[in-house]
Every structure is written in structure tokens, then in C-alpha cells.
């Protein structure tokens, strides 16, 4: 997916998140984020949107702290979220392609990184808002889901801060059954190493439609199908949270 596609997806996902949050109400529990209510979800995602936009708009070339969570609730909080989402979309859509700023995962450019990261940040939290509202959730496109799985496995969990580790080397395979995408995740005492293939034997394989795997790997849904050593799926559930 290119940057313009990510920005378009970010715009759509943020609108859907706001609609679901408004329909659920600020007091609604968020089943996919235990301990959170919808107000927490809006405060967190709105803060992240503003934090991301600051890097691109102001050109910070090193880490810059976020602005904290707002002391808002109800209609004011929802309006604040919508305003921040619109500002982020506008910032990304109008930024020069070669804008120089800080980012924290490999990407073709800082702009490409922030558009991709915020599209997936918002999509996952849109699912959270829909879980609070109940009813049928909106779908996630296969290509976007594959892109998000790749970001998670080859980006987030390639970093030294990943806690998905084992003393004895193990292999987890992730296979999308509705496309040809497959990943082999080699887990050891070091950060996981992910290859985009299905070479060699795996101790455990998780498989299913890409959109379902995407949400499963972000710990929003159970894995649709898992074969082999179940301790690896338990390890993922326990240790794969991203901060």
C-alpha cells in the first residue's frame, strides 16, 4: 500500500471510530481493551493523532513527548477527537513527500511511516469502539490487513523492546488463507526475526483470513486456527503487547 492509500484508510477508519464511539456512549465498556471505557479510547487515540501530527507538521527530528490526555468527556470529548483526526489527515495529506522528522519503524520515508502507522492505529481502535457498541463490525480489507500484519511482525517485533522471547528457539508460522501471504517468526532469547516465507518446519502455525489474523495478532480476537505447540500462541497472548 502506498502513502495515499494509508491516508485514505486513516480518514475512513477515524470517521467509523467516532460514529461507533458516539453510538456506544462514553460510559460503555470496551471488551477488546479490558479496563477501558469508550472515553478512555477516545482520549488515547485522539492524543496519539495529535502526537503523530506534531512530528510531521513541526519537523521534530527526535522523540517528542505527547501532549497528555484531555480533561474532556461526552460531546466535548467526541468533538475534540474528530478535530484531531481531521487535523492529522490534513497534515499528512498536505505534507511534502520528503518531510524530515522522527519515526520509529523502517519505512520508505517518515511520511510513509506516519501514514501507515496511524492508519493501523486507528483501524485497531475502530474495532475497539465497535466492540463497545456491539452489532456487526465494519470489515477490514485483505491488503490492508496483510500490510498491518507485516508492520507488526517485521516492524514492532523486530525491535529490541519486543518481549516475545523464549530460551529455547521456536518457530511460529503465520499464514493468511485468503491470499498468498505467509510469515515465519523465529523466536529465541533475542528479538524475533521474521521472514516473509514458509521455509522450514514450524513448531506452531496460526492461520485464517488476513483480517482475522490481523486482529488476532493485535490480541483483539482469538486465533481462527492454530496447530502445533499451543504454548507459542499463549506466549504471544501474554507477551506481544506493544508500547
Q: Cα(175)–Cα(210) distance, rounded to whole angstroms?
A: 8
- Sheet containing 204-208: give its strands across: 193-195, 182-187, 170-176, 204-208, 225-228
Query: What's this model's pTM, rounded to 2 decimal places?
Result: 0.97
For residue 197, report the phi and psi dihedrals to the nearest 5 degrees. Answer: -160, 180
Please name each of the domains of the chain with its CATH number: 3-133 (1.20.120.450), 145-240 (3.30.1050.10)
The cell numbers describing 214, all together, are: 490481523
User: Which pLDDT belongs to residue 243?
Assistant: 74
Q: Cα(230)–Cα(174) distance, rounded to whole angstroms?
A: 14
Task: Give the tens place of pLDDT for each residue, 63-98.
Answer: 999 999 999 999 999 999 999 999 999 999 999 999
Going residue by residue through the chain, which has 243 residues, state the pLDDT in tens, using 9 for 90 and above.
999 999 999 999 999 999 999 999 999 999 999 999 999 999 999 999 999 999 999 999 999 999 999 999 999 999 999 999 999 999 999 999 999 999 999 999 999 999 999 999 999 999 999 999 999 999 999 999 999 999 999 999 999 999 999 999 999 999 999 999 999 999 999 999 999 999 999 999 999 999 999 999 999 999 999 999 999 999 999 999 987
- For residues 93-125, one letter each, b for 16 or more C-beta atoms within 10 angstroms of the residue's C-beta and e for the rest, the string is eebeeebebebeeebebbbbbbbbbbbbbbbbb
Q: Cα(56)–Cα(92) distance, rounded to whole angstroms?
A: 7
Q: Cα(231)–Cα(203) distance, rounded to whole angstroms?
A: 10
Amino acid at each position: 500500500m502506498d502513502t495515499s492509500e494509508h491516508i485514505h484508510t486513516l480518514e475512513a477508519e477515524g470517521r467509523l471510530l467516532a460514529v461507533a464511539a458516539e453510538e456506544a456512549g462514553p460510559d460503555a465498556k470496551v471488551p477488546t481493551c479490558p479496563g477501558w471505557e469508550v472515553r478512555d479510547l477516545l482520549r488515547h487515540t485522539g492524543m496519539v493523532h495529535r502526537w503523530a501530527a506534531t512530528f510531521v507538521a513541526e519537523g521534530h527530528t527526535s522523540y517528542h513527548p505527547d501532549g497528555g490526555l484531555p480533561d474532556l468527556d461526552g460531546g466535548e470529548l467526541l468533538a475534540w477527537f474528530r478535530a484531531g483526526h481531521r487535523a492529522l489527515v490534513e497534515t499528512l495529506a498536505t505534507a511534502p513527500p520528503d518531510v524530515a522528522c522522527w519515526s520509529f519503524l523502517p519505512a520508505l520515508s517518515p511520511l510513509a511511516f506516519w501514514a501507515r502507522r496511524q492508519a493501523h492505529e486507528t483501524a485497531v481502535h475502530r474495532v475497539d469502539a465497535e466492540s463497545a457498541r456491539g452489532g456487526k463490525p465494519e470489515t477490514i480489507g485483505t491488503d490492508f490487513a496483510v500490510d498491518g500484519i507485516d508492520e507488526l511482525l517485521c516492524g514492532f517485533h523486530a525491535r529490541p523492546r519486543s518481549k516475545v522471547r523464549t530460551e529455547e528457539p521456536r518457530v511460529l508460522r503465520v499464514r493468511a488463507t485468503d491470499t498468498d501471504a505467509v510469515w515465519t517468526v523465529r523466536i529465541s532469547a533475542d528479538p524475533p526475526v521474521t521472514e516473509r516465507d514458509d521455509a522450514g518446519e514450524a513448531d506452531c502455525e496460526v492461520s485464517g483470513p488476513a483480517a482475522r489474523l490481523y486482529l488476532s495478532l493485535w490480541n483483539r480476537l482469538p486465533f481462527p486456527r492454530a496447530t502445533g505447540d499451543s504454548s507459542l500462541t499463549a506466549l504471544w497472548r501474554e507477551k506481544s503487547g506493544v508500547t
